[in-house]
Chains A and B, each alone.
Chain A
Amino acid sequence: MSRRWWIIPALVALLAAVGFAYWGYGLNRDRDQLVTLMNNRNQKSYFELVSSVQNMEVMLSKGIVSNSPGQRMLIFADIWQQASQAQNDLNQIPMSGASMNRTTKFLTQTGDYAWSLARKYARGDSVKPSEIRELNALHTEAGYLAVELQRLADLRNIGRLSWGELRRAADRELADQSSPTLLGMQKIDKNMEDFPSLIYDGPFSDHIMTRIPKALTGSLINDAQASGIAERFVEAGTGDNYRVVKTEGVNGIIPAFRLHLQPQGAKTPAVIADISKTGGHPLMMLSTRPVNRTSINKDRAVSIASDFLANRGIRNMKPTYMVEQNNTGVVIFEYVQDGVLVYPDLMKVKVALDNGDVVGFEGTGFIMNHSVRENTKPAVSEKEALRAVNPQLKIKSRRLAIIPMENLKEVLAYEFKGDLNGDIFIVYINAKTGKEERILKVIETRGGAVTM
């Protein structure tokens, strides 16, 4: 026995080796299955994308030819759905987000445009020559995309499309981009840049992405002046003393100074304030301190927020609702002109519910949208407007309001708040045409009312 002492360790080692080999083989097999599964999913998404874009191209041409409003509406609704589906599929293909921006933009805008046209034709409006031009342009673009995507698919159809979604390949993609399929798609996206941009009545139109602020009045200020404004803004009505310890710049749609303010006695800044370079308007204020308990009730929070605005000379703002979350209450204010509530001119004040400090302010929306509205007189009387409302809705309150539509146009409307079967709804009736413009449902959540 002592001469062949090595038998037992050898057997053990053999067993261990076999065990590890089995384990390693199992891992490898699982990994292969996962890779195949993911490749299959990407295949499916790709081919569905090609199919949707081809459908879009065909339907766009049909939409141009069709001569009946009913048919047109159906065709454009269909295009919207195909665009939605195409977007979904495109987003499942593993590309770094930015490289398919232009293609995503095309799909989003086309779908959105088709939807706005479907709505128009449903109302019975007629087709305008500018729309035919836009549709022709979109049709050409869709045609290009469909042909290119199909060509790419044909090229790679011998075998499988290779996706390189594994981590190593994704890293390489950033550096030298090796997957030919992804490279091909990126090339398509780059060529799409050459197509013209689309401006129309919808939330994704190009003109919305390049808005200019309406209430940015006044002359340029320097950073010393901005610091003074920020300190006064944060301190007013509090009795605390704040000092600006750092100034930075924000180079956005509204160029601004970003000031970091430190309260007296503290070692680090606790509040940031953005003040616009033109006119020194406060755009935003945010306190970074945590709030850990609630001891103030909703009504008190709303009055604190109202006082906050009054102490800063901000008038004509009415609080419309409050959302309570994480021991803070955000009170929403809207501008009131001639008794009409102007929703786009919006400000928010955040109140800490432990001691009543104001820990946040948001006024960028106000600066972007505020102007004195010209037309606040309704063309339709309240009684006539009520006729357009579902008679079963029990109306609890009514007022006039200016509401923004998706294309950023504003509409003067009667706002009727009522309840039906225990659910609360807000119905907006256009004060010029008397037609139902929008319906919102009010849902009570733990934090306050949310409208959907």
Chain B
Amino acid sequence: MVIVRTKWIMAIAITVIVLGGFLAYSHKLFAQTPTLYWGSSGSSVTQVQNRLKSWGYYNGPVDGSYGAGTFNAVKSFQAKNGLAADGVVGPSTWQAMGFNTRATTGAAYTPSRGVSGRDDVMLLARVTGGEAENEPYEGKVAVAAVILNRVESDKFPNSLAGVIYQPHAFESITNGVANRAPSADTIRAAQDAMNGWDPTQGCLFFWNPSKPVSKWIWSRAIITRIGAHVFAR
């Protein structure tokens, strides 16, 4: 009798694991500030409940479950803040609650006064890190400078994003390695390149000579070598 029960338990356990497996596969990932409505659940709901509770709109349990109490709290918050009081937490409601916004002072927002240009550096830093994370500092500056030189060149796209995301241009973009957060050194190097430091004097190509590359690239004039990379015009 005991043996049979053990086998049943094992059978159920394996079934659960397998079912869990393909349920997990079909589960979609949510964004950090997803649209929430009655019936939603999860950590985003908890964040909303916490925020509304601290402001006195919500009195119920902070349980990550979007029910009637949360719905009414969201509606009163929206009404008080000049938003459409529909009980649905969309992008404007998230913003109004203070998530994902740049800090604004009391003054009205006017265009082009909030331009910081920081996003360009981070984009450049990410791909520089993906290509040259283990290179010496001047090697990172050189890689970043090559990318900027391509933007200036007539042979490549005319925007930073265009150059970086050009298909097959950078290995680390194609395989996703560039999406990792870059180190502080890499960000500094990218900033230096943006400020005009170019150890390559205008090169448009770089590659690691010990890795397989197309034969064509070896026909370019080599300007210098830094770390593991060779730079050419």
The interface of chain A, by Cβ under 8 A from chain B, is 1, 8-9, 11-12, 15-16, 19-20, 22-23, 26-27, 87-88, 91-99, 101-102, 104-105, 108-109, 112, 165, 167, 170, 173-175, 203-204, 209, 248-254, 256, 258, 272, 274, 284, 286, 288, 290, 323, 325-326, 328, 330, 348, 350, 360, 362, 364-365, 422-423, 441, 443-446, 450, 452
Contacts and interface: CB of A to CB of B under 8 A. Distances in A.
A254 B200 CA distance: 10
A375 B191 CA distance: 36
B122 to A, nearest CB: 12
Contacts of B167: 91-97, 165
B18 interface: yes
Given A9-B11, A108-B155, A251-B223, 16 more contacts: A19-B21, A23-B21, A91-B166, A93-B167, A97-B167, A108-B154, A112-B154, A170-B168, A209-B154, A250-B223, A252-B200, A286-B192, A326-B191, A350-B195, A441-B112, A450-B115
B187 A326 contact: yes
Given A11-B11, A105-B155, A94 B199 contact: no
Given A97-B168, A104-B155, A450 B117 contact: yes
A49 to B, nearest CB: 14
Contact of A8 (B11, B115, B158, B201): B11
Contact of B112 (A170, A323, A443): A443
B184 interface: yes
B154 A15 contact: no
B197 A286 contact: yes
A325 B184 CA distance: 12
A290 to B, nearest CB: 6
24 contacts: A8-B8, A9-B11, A12-B11, A12-B14, A15-B18, A19-B19, A88-B157, A93-B167, A94-B168, A95-B167, A96-B168, A97-B166, A98-B205, A250-B201, A251-B221, A258-B199, A258-B224, A284-B198, A286-B197, A288-B138, A290-B185, A323-B195, A348-B196, A450-B117
Given A170-B174, A174-B213, A441-B112, A286 B199 contact: yes
Nearest to B214: A174
A252 B22 contact: no
B80 interface: no
B163 to A, nearest CB: 8
List the 7 shortest-distance A-B pairs measured between CB atoms, nearest first.
A252-B201, A94-B167, A288-B137, A204-B154, A19-B18, A108-B154, A101-B155
Given A97-B166, A170-B168, A286-B138, A16 B199 contact: no
A15 B168 contact: no
B19 A251 contact: no
Interface string B141-184: 10000000000111111100010001111000011000000001
Nearest to A99: B216
Contacts of B192: 286, 350, 360
A95 B154 contact: no
Contact of B214 (A23, A98, A209): A98
Interface of B: 4, 7-8, 10-11, 14-15, 18-19, 21-22, 25-26, 110, 112-113, 115-117, 136-138, 141, 152-158, 162, 166-169, 174-175, 184-185, 187-188, 191-192, 195-203, 205, 212-214, 216-217, 221-225, 233
A251 B203 CA distance: 11
Given A167-B174, A360-B197, A1 B168 contact: no
Contacts of B201: 250, 252-254, 256, 364
A96 B169 contact: yes
A445 B141 contact: no
B184 A290 contact: yes
A12 B15 contact: yes
Given A93-B167, A284-B199, A326-B188, A8 B7 contact: yes
B155 A446 contact: no
A330 B117 CA distance: 16
Given A87-B157, A92-B167, A98-B217, A362 B223 contact: no
A229 B111 CA distance: 49
